Amino acid sequence: MSYELLGIIVLWIFLYGYLIVASVDFGAGFFSYYSEITGNKQLIQPMIERYLSPVWEVTNVFLIFFMVGLIGFFPDTAYYYGTSLLIPGSIAVILLAIRGSYYAFSTYGAKNNRFYLFLYGASGWLIPAALSTVLIISEGGFIKVINGDVQFQYMELFTSSYAWTVVGLALISVLYISSMFLSYYAYKAKDHKAFEIVRKYALAWSLPTIVASFLVFFSIRNHNVEHFEKMVDLSWMFVISFICFIVAVYFVWKRKKLGWAFVFVMFQFAFAFFGYGASHLPYILYPYINIHEHFTNQTMAIALVTVFILGLLLLVPSLYLLMRLFLFDIKYVQGNKNPQK
Amino acid sequence: MFSTYDPVIFSRLLTSLTLAFHIIFATIGVGVPVMIALAEWIGIKRNDSHYLLLARRWARGFTITVAVGVVTGTAIGLQLSLLWPKFMQVAGQSIALPLFMETFAFFFEAIFLGIYLYTWDRFKNRMTHFYLLIPVVIGSSASAFFITIVNAFMNAPQGFDVDVLTGKIINVQPLVAMFNPATPTKVAHVLISAYLTSAFVLAGVAAISILRGRKHVYYKKALKLTMVSALIFSIGTAIIGDLSGKYLAEYQPEKLAAAEWHFETTDQAPLVIGGILTENNEVKYGLKIPLALSILAHGSPDAEVTGINDLPKDEIPPLWIHYMFDLMAIIGVTLMLIALTYVVGQRFGRWNVHNKGLLKLIVLGGPLAMLAIEFGWIFAEVGRQPWILRGYMKTTDAATTSGHVDIMLIVFALLYIVLGFTCVKVIRKMFKNYPAEEEIASKGGEVK
């Protein structure tokens, strides 16, 4: 396999990882606030906190990793995306900043501060929409290069139906992924009351998610025919994704095999996301940046891949330890091992 | 203030603002884990629950600062590409390796910090919990190490060639780029000054408590631990600071000359402290220490030090960095003296080291140390102007051409004000509502 293909696959895996863990995290913040205003606070919040507190910082690293890796492997992305994304990128940064800090403020510091909880919940829900701008402009049509200067077409973005369908999918799927995860977590914790609540959330958001996915699929046709045709060539991946969705929702509906239900949610998004990614190749930014012509120099590529492998040797056992202690430790999940008072 | 929109100026302002804010939390993020580790280790070794509690309470406050550190770090990470796209394009080719490694260090730290904070009472052997802190310390110091390498590269770029015809970067040698001449002194100075600052900030917290009439031995133990550490770190900072001066004389003479208002190339050069510069570039009212600059630069009073007049005019940094250098150095010396007074007094003196005067100085030491960090960074960064990559790329050529950087500057300024304000408020509330005496009592300890 060529280095550039390896590079983009590694980055795509990390972006996928971020998509899953961040959705769980962002959606949980939203539900945490929602439970506060609907009066289910006592049922939902301790559970969410138990899962999120040890992992929230890790979530952020996935994003940084993707970004640094993208610039490392494909340095020209810094120039094009950097110049064009000033406003959407800054909005994402601000939302991330508000969310991260107010999460910590409301979890470790000023408990029961409704306003902090609101900032944390609302900002988290909007971050995926802000970040999805990167995917939107990667389809092309939103950037013009005039005399060597990159110029972002804001009006094109705001009037694009494609852009809005992606934003819609981002907003909805966050709630779907998150509530599916919380269902699993509550089920495992044998917290039946919490489970019934989050199960309702999960089922409620499942249909909108699939509708939004279809809308994105078809709106690519209007926006970038070339890409759409490649997606049709890979349509089997999207079909598998849909089947995984059905299985996941079925399990939740029947209140059984909740662990498998979430695994199928992960498959659902994996197939859709990698199908989308594979059909997008070779372009990173259509039509300006592709993985072959804008790859970094050979030496740096080898260095990055080497460090990546060494890094994984460090990360995988560490992540395993983290999950063993907080995700797969039944006593901890059930709240019998209390975190620090 | 600015009549015309210039993306370069606004990009510089916004980057400075974000970094200035981030550095406060980054410094704490690098230094405090070391102090927590020290306290927990002493606590376990001496079987002294006060030190264990100290580690625990520091860790609790630390989570809040880590959160702000992480989010502002994310901000500067993204802003580098948003505000300096052409620089990042070059950096991606040449210096991506330490940037990439930094994310691994950060990952490592994040994972183990999460585990550490939530497993205080989960292991039978207390050392198991202590060991969890080691990766946190390694991770936080390693991320400072790698990110400072990137900065060192901007000061002393090497390990690549520029193709004369295409202007493209060729013959990249990632390790040569990483271990450039600026790396050793920069990294060492950043790390040890972060440890020093954190020790002083924590000492200040203990000193405030004692000043407010808290009499428990817990506070005295906290003060002793932090002040002894501060003395060691301040001596280290001074030694490495001296080596940094020698680095500058060798590789970045324009930065040293501007910092010292040294115009004519001479031997036996004096060091100037303070003063003002007249229109004819004459130094007035400054305190001149004979020979000191030659010693700082080359380790010998007879050594020749390059002056500003012998360097290209358009490559001279702004001369006001002189004040930044002075303030940083004066604060460094002051901190060392404060720590020395405490340690000598505590060990050999017959007077009470918990007297109001010294305690007040220690309290002042925390913010002063933080200011020295800021001054030092301003000196280092403005001192390499007009370059973003010294000798290769000017700052003006690297900035974004995008509109609206001015609006972003205002928005981010507001964000940092709000974050800073809430952060202080939350931390104060955390400790005010639950003082150490109460926590000691709740764990079955005695209240004195």
For the stretch A11-41, pLDDT in tens is: 888 888 888 888 888 888 888 888 878 877 7
B97: nearest CB among A61, A63, A300: A300
Q: Best mutation site among B28, B100, B169 for testing chain A: the one with the most A CBs within 10 Å?
A: B100
Task: Flag if A307 and B419 touch (Cβ within 8 Å).
Answer: no
Which residues between 87 and 126 in chain A have a beta carbon less than 8 angstroms from any beta carbon of chain B? 87, 89-90, 92-94, 96-105, 108-110, 116
| B contacts of A64 (beta carbons < 8 Å) | 73-74, 77, 103, 106
Cα angle, residue A255 at apex, residues A252 and A258 outer, rounded to 5°: 60
pTM for the full predicted model? 0.86
Q: What is the pLDDT of residue B232?
A: 94
Question: Average pLDDT per run of 10 along chain A, which is 341 residues long?
Answer: 81 86 85 80 75 72 82 82 81 86 76 77 83 80 72 74 84 87 83 79 82 81 78 84 86 83 87 82 75 76 82 78 74 62 38
Shortest Cα distance from B284 to chain A (angstroms)?
Answer: 45
Q: Best mutation site among B52, B60, B81, B423 for testing chain A: the one with the most A CBs within 10 Å?
A: B81
> Which runs of consecutive H residues, i.e. helices, occur in B84-182?
85-94, 96-117, 126-155, 174-178
Global ipTM? 0.80
Q: Best mutation site among A15, A68, A322, A323 for testing chain B: the one with the most B CBs within 10 Å?
A: A68
A288 has a chain B CB within 8 A of its CB: no
Which pLDDT tens digits describe chain B residue by residue (448 residues)?
455 778 888 888 999 999 999 999 999 999 999 999 999 999 999 988 889 889 988 998 898 898 888 889 888 888 888 888 888 888 888 888 888 888 888 888 888 888 888 887 777 788 888 898 999 999 999 999 999 999 998 888 887 888 777 777 778 888 888 888 889 999 999 999 999 999 999 999 999 888 887 778 888 889 999 999 999 999 999 999 888 888 888 888 888 888 888 888 887 777 887 777 777 777 777 777 777 777 777 777 787 788 888 888 888 888 888 888 889 989 999 999 999 988 888 888 777 777 888 888 999 999 999 999 999 999 998 988 888 777 777 787 777 777 788 888 889 999 999 989 988 888 888 888 777 777 777 776 554 4
Q: Considering only alpha carbons, which residue of chain B is nearest residue A68? A: B100
Which residues between 304 and 323 in chain A have a beta carbon less than 8 angstroms from any beta carbon of chain B? 304, 307-308, 311, 314-315, 318-319, 321-322
